[in-house]
Chain A
Amino acid sequence: MKKDRFKRISPNIWEIPTDFKQGMRVPARILSSEELIDGIDDKVIDQITNVACLSGIKKYALCMPDGHCGYGFPIGGVAGFSKNDGIISPGGIGFDINCGMRLLRTDLTFDEIKPKMELLLNKLFLTIPSGVGSSGFLKLNKGQFTDIMEKGADWCLESGYATSNDIEHIEDHGRISHADHTTVSEKAISRGINQMGTLGSGNHYLEVEIAHPEGIYNRDIAKVFGIDRDNQVIVAIHCGSRGFGHQIATDYLEVFDKCSKKYDLVVRDKELMSAPIKSDEGQRYFRAMACAANAAFVNRQLITFGIRKVFSEVFGKNVHELGVETIYDVAHNIAKMEKYEIGGREEELLIHRKGATRSFGPGRPEIPKDYQLVGQPVIVGGSMETGSALLCGAKQADEETFGSTLHGAGRTMSRMQAKRTARGESIRQKMKDDGIMVKTGYMPGLAEEAAFAYKDIDSVVSAVHSIGISKKVARFKPVLNIKG
């Protein structure tokens, strides 16, 4: 039994002590229900204990309940590094910088959209580009793209693609201030400049979902988040910084390859290549990463703009009449400076979240004014058959997990295995039978993203709810899905 190798700290927290592997500076902690812990991949254990060996790491290397094998960090990995002697690692953030999720609320109900479902799906598919090599509707020049890098979603506000209400409801208000375009390569710009407002492919999607009354776990908090009527229509967007962010990660992995030797850093896995936070290389990556994060916020905002246009056309009303508003927009792949208490002293740490969500509780100045009493929304993406979950942040996360929680269901089966298990067409038919219409440019890809390839989202959500690092608010059921 795998769990016998761990020290059980609480019903859903399992610790791997520092004597597990030579070089571990702190213990590793895996958050998981008892039923899922034995299914944890050995590679995840290897990866999270490698993270525990990195310079300047504090308290624990953490793996969230949706954790699965990644590069360097596992997906679902969280770690905090001392600002003074810690490192920054692209492998702790991911190639898709600020891959994240946005939820939109509407005033519409399921009954109101039922007669127009097919039209809505087709128009969304045509309006929001997805798949390999797709381009957005904007033809941007370099000056505009520089503004996107440095101003993030504020650029959308200035250009008429966002409302001030959108900006208020994006993590960091959609603008990370230390972004510096001079740290970004021409290649990254060329890859990203035509892709703003596109979904991408793989596990990226756009989904219309329904907030059924039986899926509302906390009616009061749901109401604060704008979920205020039975069978309300919700829209979920899952995508990131596209080729721009992927190229920045590629560029800096190579820069960091040379840093290990230069700064005498022990690296157990080439994907964990890192640089001291204070080093020139580390600071440049930190600023370039912020450019990609800002571009991702812009990407999701431009997709929101497209969704509003479609809803307006299909339902013959303006977006205000339809109440299409941003509930929140969260980053799942990012590193941020945050303050935590370490050994009775407040310390500034660089928190890496790779496939993890910030989970700030009530009263934090970083979260929107209207959510101050309940904590930030935590948006968790499920598979395309199961829909998303909405949670709220909790103070407990500050103590247990550097203000972090899960981000998705967590993959358990490879894409190739999934395709061997089922055909895309049979998944499409099954989804149709379950009341979900799906559209994609590549039908076999449906099998890759089928529910059987993922952990049970309710199980991983219940684990973080039980630990208390975020609290269940609502579960949504998908009815329309555009798979990138």
Chain B
Amino acid sequence: MPFELTDTHTCADIGLIATGNSLIELFSDSAFGLTSVMVELNDVSDSRIIPIEIYGDDLENLFYHWLSEIIYLKDAEHFLLKNCVIELDEQNFVIKGKLTGDTIDSNRHILKIDVKAVTYYKFKVEKIGLVWRGEVVFDL
């Protein structure tokens, strides 16, 4: 499982632990994990494309902005993520690429629980051996 939802940190909300062989894998899997809190992933189509360009001050800040963008797009664009094709500049902390996904439709989607925000609680991005690992708690 590239991501796992956890409840060890706070009782009101939900945690996510994701791993990847590359930063792109980690970032992608974390975004799918986040989306899986809000909707049953299997029902999400890839009928829409949204170009993105996200900047950070450092790697953790970029990770924070990346996940926050997924939440933002859910509210502002009614967009649910299906897939992402991104490039990640590890030197300048920039993500460029496109997200594919679907427009929220309560008739087609099993909508679960809204994620309000990415918190800094237990927030971490680290490389353990050859594997990148991210940990984050979402406010519900």
Interface residues of A, Cβ cutoff 8 Å to B: 41, 43, 68-71, 75, 95-96, 131-135, 187, 190-192, 194-195, 200-203, 242-243, 246-247, 249-250, 253-254, 257, 269-271, 273, 411-417, 441-442, 444-445, 448, 484
- Most chain A CB neighbours (cut-off 10 Å) among B5, B64, B116: B116
In the bound complex, residues from chain B placing their C-beta under 8 Å from that of A270 are 120-121, 123
Task: Give Cα A253 to B139, complex, Å.
Answer: 14
User: Which partner residue on chain A sits nearest B14 by CB separation?
Assistant: A415
- B-side interface residues, number (CB < 8 Å): 38
Q: Which of B61, B114, B119, B137 contacts A132 (CB 8 A)?
A: B114
In the bound complex, residues from chain B placing their C-beta under 8 Å from that of A445 are 112-113
At the interface, yes or no: B140 with Cβ under 8 Å from chain A?
Answer: yes
Q: Which of B72, B74, B114, B118 contacts A187 (CB 8 A)?
A: B72
Q: 11 A–B contact pairs at CB < 8 A? A: A192-B75, A242-B75, A243-B72, A411-B12, A414-B11, A415-B13, A415-B14, A416-B6, A442-B113, A448-B113, A484-B114
At the interface, yes or no: B127 with Cβ under 8 Å from chain A?
Answer: no
Least distance between B134 CB and chain A CB atoms (Å): 15
In the bound complex, residues from chain A placing their C-beta under 8 Å from that of B12 are 68-70, 75, 203, 411, 414-415
Task: Give Cα A413 to B39, complex, Å.
Answer: 22
Q: Which of B7, B38, B106, B123 contacts A417 (CB 8 A)?
A: B7
Cβ of B72 and Cβ of A132 under 8 Å apart?
no
Q: Which of A131, A247, A249, A271 contacts B121 (CB 8 A)?
A: A271
At the interface, yes or no: B41 with Cβ under 8 Å from chain A?
Answer: no
Cβ of A71 and Cβ of B139 under 8 Å apart?
yes
Q: Which of A75, A95, A243, A273 contacts B75 (CB 8 A)?
A: A243
At the interface, yes or no: B94 with Cβ under 8 Å from chain A?
Answer: no
Q: Which of B11, B75, B140 contacts A191 (CB 8 A)?
A: B75
Least distance between B90 CB and chain A CB atoms (Å): 21
User: Which partner residue on chain B sits nearest A414 by CB separation?
Assistant: B7
In the bound complex, residues from chain B placing their C-beta under 8 Å from that of A192 are 75
Task: Give Cα A253 to B117, complex, Å.
Answer: 11
Cβ of B76 and Cβ of A190 under 8 Å apart?
yes
In the bound complex, residues from chain A placing their C-beta under 8 Å from that of B74 are 132-133
At the interface, yes or no: B78 with Cβ under 8 Å from chain A?
Answer: yes
At the interface, yes or no: B49 with Cβ under 8 Å from chain A?
Answer: no
Cβ of A191 and Cβ of B114 under 8 Å apart?
no
User: Which partner residue on chain A sits nearest B76 by CB separation?
Assistant: A190
At the interface, yes or no: B68 with Cβ under 8 Å from chain A?
Answer: yes
User: Which partner residue on chain A sits nearest B109 by CB separation?
Assistant: A132
Q: Which of A134, A202, A269, A411 contacts B11 (CB 8 A)?
A: A411
Least distance between A259 CB and chain B CB atoms (Å): 14
Cβ of B11 and Cβ of A131 under 8 Å apart?
no
Task: Give Cα A219 to B107, complex, Å.
Answer: 46
Q: Which of B7, B64, B72, B139 contacts A95 (CB 8 A)?
A: B139
At the interface, yes or no: B88 with Cβ under 8 Å from chain A?
Answer: no
Task: Give Cα A200 to B139, complex, Å.
Answer: 13
User: Which partner residue on chain A sits nearest B11 by CB separation?
Assistant: A414
Q: Which of A70, A242, A257 contacts B10 (CB 8 A)?
A: A70
At the interface, yes or no: B24 with Cβ under 8 Å from chain A?
Answer: no
Least distance between A80 CB and chain B CB atoms (Å): 24
At the interface, yes or no: B111 with Cβ under 8 Å from chain A?
Answer: yes
In the bound complex, residues from chain B placing their C-beta under 8 Å from that of A203 are 12
Cβ of A69 and Cβ of B75 under 8 Å apart?
no
In the bound complex, residues from chain B placing their C-beta under 8 Å from that of A131 are 106, 111, 114
* 6 closest Cβ pairs, A-B complex: A414-B7, A243-B75, A133-B104, A270-B120, A416-B7, A190-B76
User: Which partner residue on chain A sits nearest B138 by CB separation?
Assistant: A95
At the interface, yes or no: B86 with Cβ under 8 Å from chain A?
Answer: no
Chain B, range 90-140, C-beta contacts under 8 Å to A: 104, 106, 110-114, 116-121, 123, 137, 139-140
Q: Which of B6, B7, B64, B120 contacts A271 (CB 8 A)?
A: B120
User: Which partner residue on chain B sits nearest A41 by CB separation?
Assistant: B11
With A190-B76, A411-B12 as known contacts, state yes or no: A71 contacts B120, CB within 8 Å: yes
User: Which partner residue on chain B sits nearest A484 by CB separation?
Assistant: B114
Task: Give Cα A43 to B137, complex, Å.
Answer: 15
Cβ of B104 and Cβ of A132 under 8 Å apart?
yes
Cβ of B112 and Cβ of A95 under 8 Å apart?
no
Cβ of B140 and Cβ of A415 under 8 Å apart?
yes
With A191-B75, A246-B139 as known contacts, state yes or no: A132 contacts B113, CB within 8 Å: yes
Given contacts A132-B113, A250-B68, 11 further A-B contacts (CB under 8 A): A68-B11, A132-B114, A134-B106, A191-B75, A201-B114, A202-B114, A271-B121, A411-B11, A416-B5, A442-B112, A445-B112
